[in-house]
Structure 1
Amino acid sequence: METQATHRPLNAPETTPSAVELHGVTRVYGTRTAAVRALDNVDVGFPAGSWTAVMGPSGSGKSTLLHCAAGLERVSSGRVVVAGQDITDASDAELTRLRRTVLGFVFQSFNLIGSLTAEQNVAMPLRLAGQRPPRKVVREVLASVGLADRVRHRPGELSGGQQQRVAIARAMVTRPAVLFADEPTGALDTKSARTVLRMLRGMVDTSGQTIVMVTHDPAAAAAADRVVFLGDGRVVDRLDRPTVRLVADRLARWEE
């Protein structure tokens, strides 16, 4: 039997501390008559130790919100706080350090280096941070995503689902406070997508990982603890303990 979903008013306070907070965030592309407001005065928090899915129609601002929250893009106005640090005016050097130590990223396209083994790809963030990655640590992370027997395989020798698991291991090797995921199951078949979603669920339930994920898939969103819906650059709805049916119904309502 499905868990009962809960609709929460937009102005309801969070019941747990937020790992990521956006305060009055606006992001504008272009200038004057060509200006496009991708985010419009967004106030939203993502609770620590939980998994939030971000959904909405094409052009609603989903990816822009993720990129601004993760420090990949500068906001036009407002503030962004991640893991207790205000990153709004952080220098490029500070943002680079945060991305290598505090934040993890997983994307639909995997972004693995084809000439490197799974082990070498996972070790890359530590090397970029000037560290000598212990082989034991790298292999433990790969084992945690079910790839203990694939450490010496290159991306071309792995399935799409296995490549995404390598990408997740690479994002987790620095033990980030927040894992940002942009359509992490979008390029996967149904079976592989389920495997990845179960793995992400386990990270939250077992390790208290904070995950913020953009997705268009109701099944992926239903694996999360809550869903934040965007429309025209604004937060228009929230749903706690989502189900596939309710998420799909909510999306269908906007597409009518």
Structure 2
Amino acid sequence: MSRPAAAGPQASAGAPVTSVQLHQVSRHYGTGEARVQALADVTVTFPAGTWTAVMGPSGSGKSTLLHCAAGLDRASSGRVVLAGQDITRATDATLTSLRRRTMGFIFQNFNLIGSLTAEQNVALPLKLAGARPSRADVRAALAAVGLADRARHRPRELSGGQQQRVAIARGMVTRPSVLFADEPTGALDTHSARMVLRLLRRMVDESGQTVVMVTHDPVAAANADAVVFLSDGRIVDRLIRPTAAGVAERLTRLEG
């Protein structure tokens, strides 16, 4: 499958358009001897209209990077710019408004509301943003992840993989300019994973959306335009136009 150049769309002045930027971002937890450094002086840009995979050994800071980039966690130092707005010291109200207007997030542990049906879970971001959800849009999002016939099922009536696909439909339904995804295919069978990866690819290629995805799977990462590798909270490598074999080889080096 063809992929756009990793630089993404170009502004009229010729400079790359960027959706997300981290400038010398560090994140630590705790103090004294209990202090843990999750990110250390990370500078990275995710160009608009591209798909970047974030990879690295367990504990390398992948999810922390994703959460800081999305404004779900605060950087201890440095600067985070999301959709052209510096969110480093933004108020919670500003962050909430920006997230609802600009981004979607697919969580590793689904975060579905058990009392709501699949279609109600998918419609929730639209309602929170003050929009009136279109049933057609909600059903289309569920159909896109292969769950058109599960719209009225509650999470307890769905398998783990089906719950993950509901979470993916929820992240996509607002057509966010930036979609952050934490292991979006981790709980899926091979067929479902391929379906989701094709959807993410179309979001980028056809709609110009930006995808930033944490994954441990070289095959999933090979669908992206670029891969950023973390180790001990630092960016240690990058790979443009990745292949599964190339990603696996670099991961082996990091984990060895």
Q: Say yes or no: TM over 0.5.
A: yes
> Does the residue aligned with 1:46 lie in a helix, a strand or coil?
strand
What residue identity is the alignment partner of 2:213?
Answer: M
Cα deviation digits, residues 11-31 of structure 1 (max 9, x gap): xxxx73221000010111111
* Comparing 142-151 and 87-96, the one that deviates more: 142-151
1:94 and 2:106 are equivalent in the alignment: no
SS in 1 for 2:150: coil
Determine if contact 2:164/2:187 at 8 Å carries over to the other structure: no
The one-letter amino acid of 2:74's match is: R
The answer for the alignment partner of 1:69 in structure 2 is 69
Q: Is the 8 A contact 2:55 2:216 kept in 1?
A: yes
Residue 203 of structure 1 and its aligned partner are, at CA, apart by 1.5
Alignment of 1:191-206 (within 5 A): 191-206=191-206
Which one-letter code corresponds to 1:246 in the other structure? G
Secondary structure of 1:21's match? strand
Cα distance in 2, alignment partners of residues 121 and 162 from structure 1: 13
Alignment partners' CA distance in 2, 1:75 and 1:91: 13
Alpha-carbon deviation of 1:98? 1.7
Query: 2:233 maps to what in 1?
Result: 233
Look up the match of 2:148: 148
Aligned to 1:163: 163
What is the CA distance between 1:139 and its match in structure 2? 2.4
Aligned residue number for residue 131 of structure 1: 131
Give the match for residue 252 of structure 1.
252
Aligned partner letter, 2:174: T
Shift of 1:51: 0.7
Post-superposition Cα deviations, 1:115-164, rounded to whole Å, max 9, x if no partner, equal 32221111111222333323233223333334333322333344444332
Q: Does 1:112 align with 2:107?
A: no
> One-letter code of the match for 1:243?
T
Aligned counterpart, 1:80? 80
- Percent of residue pairs bearing the same amino acid type: 73
**Counterpart contact for 2:171–2:179, Cα < 8 Å:** yes
Q: CA RMSD in A?
A: 2.4
Which residue identity does 1:42 align to in structure 2? Answer: V
Q: Is the partner of 2:248 in helix, strand or coil?
A: helix
Moved more, 83-92 or 142-151: 142-151
Contact 1:101 1:175 in 2 (8 A): no
- Offset, 1:181: 0.4
Could you tell me how far apart the structure 1 residues matched to 2:156 and 2:195 are?
20
Equivalent residue of 1:96, what SS?
A: helix
Deviation at residue 100 of structure 1 after TM alignment: 1.7
Runs (5+) with no aligned partner, structure 2 = 6-14
TM-score (norm 1): 0.89
Amino acid at match of 1:194: R
Residue identity matched to 1:70: A
- For 1:13-58, what per-residue CA distance to the aligned partner results, in whole angstroms no more than 9, with x for missing partners? xx73221000010111111332221111111001111110000111
Tell me which amino acid in the other structure corresponds to 2:105. F
Alpha-carbon distance in 2 for matches of 1:220, 1:110: 19
Larger RCO, structure (CA 8 Å, separation 6 or more): 1
| Corresponding residue number in structure 2 for 1:182 | 182
Counterparts of 2:36 and 2:110 in 1: how far apart (Å)? 29
Q: Give 2:163's aligned amino acid.
A: Q
Match of 1:149, SS state, is helix
Mapped contact 1:109–1:187 kept (Cα < 8 A): no
TM-score calculated relative to the size of structure 2 = 0.89
Looking at structure 2, the residues matched to 27 and 141 of structure 1 have their Cα atoms a distance apart, in angstroms, of 35
Alpha carbons 1:161, 1:196 under 8 Å: kept: no
2:60–2:233 Cα contact (<8 Å) kept: yes
> Aligned runs of 1:38-57 on 2, under 5 Å?
38-57=38-57
Q: State the distance in 2 between where 1:190 and 1:237 align.
A: 28
